[in-house]
Amino acid sequence: MVAIADGKVGLLVYTLTNGEGEVIDQNTADDPLPYLHGAGNIVPGLEAALTGKSIGDTFEVSVAPEQGYGPHDGRDPLGVPKEHFPPNVAIQAGMHFMAQGEDGQPVIVWVDHVEGEVVFITQNHPLAGVTLNFAVEVVGIRDASDVEREHGHPHGLDGTAGHGHDH
């Protein structure tokens, strides 16, 4: 029996709910999520729970923020004039950008909301501080190709998908 391990691509059908039982994200068997195990494509708590799983396995796992999208730092979003953002991009809540942190290191900033010409940004992922409850079925496992391992992500369900992504 093939088991999920580093260097394998797993195909997942999942439902993600928060602590209140609200569905945050889900997919269907028609559209499984491929991910490369061991490459940090998915949150650490889910990746760890998938280690050793086989095709057909179903399970539920509750992932604390520390093993998910991190704790919320409690800071309010910061307002920034829209002109500081790339032109020709419709800025919307949930988008993220690379910016320079206080120490000059690259950081990801998320758009919390937009008010007129002011964009409110935060370093908290939209799901920071949220306990993530995953219900998962493993619907496929295959070996990653050399190129996929080099890139650190799968190229579609069967590894032959074109490079539509921006990595």
Q: What is the contact surface with Zn ion in residues (CB under 5 A)?
A: 151
Q: Toward Zn ion, which CB reaches closer, 101 or 152? A: 152
Least distance in angstroms from the C-beta of 165 to Zn ion: 6
Q: Toward Zn ion, which CB reaches closer, 84 or 163? A: 163
Reduce the secondary structure of the chain to three states and give it as a string. Answer: CCECCCCEEEEEEEEEECCCCCEEEECCCCCCEEEECCCCCCCHHHHHHHCCCECCCEEEEEECHHHCCCCCCCCCCEEEEHHHCCCCCCCCCCCEEEEECCCCCEEEEEEEEEECCEEEEECCCCCCCCCEEEEEEEEEEEECCHHHHHHCCCCCCCCCCCCCCCC
Least distance in angstroms from the C-beta of 103 to Zn ion: 30
Q: Toward Zn ion, which CB reaches closer, 72 or 151? A: 151
Least distance in angstroms from the C-beta of 158 to Zn ion: 14
Q: Toward Zn ion, which CB reaches closer, 129 or 159? A: 159
Least distance in angstroms from the C-beta of 65 to Zn ion: 29
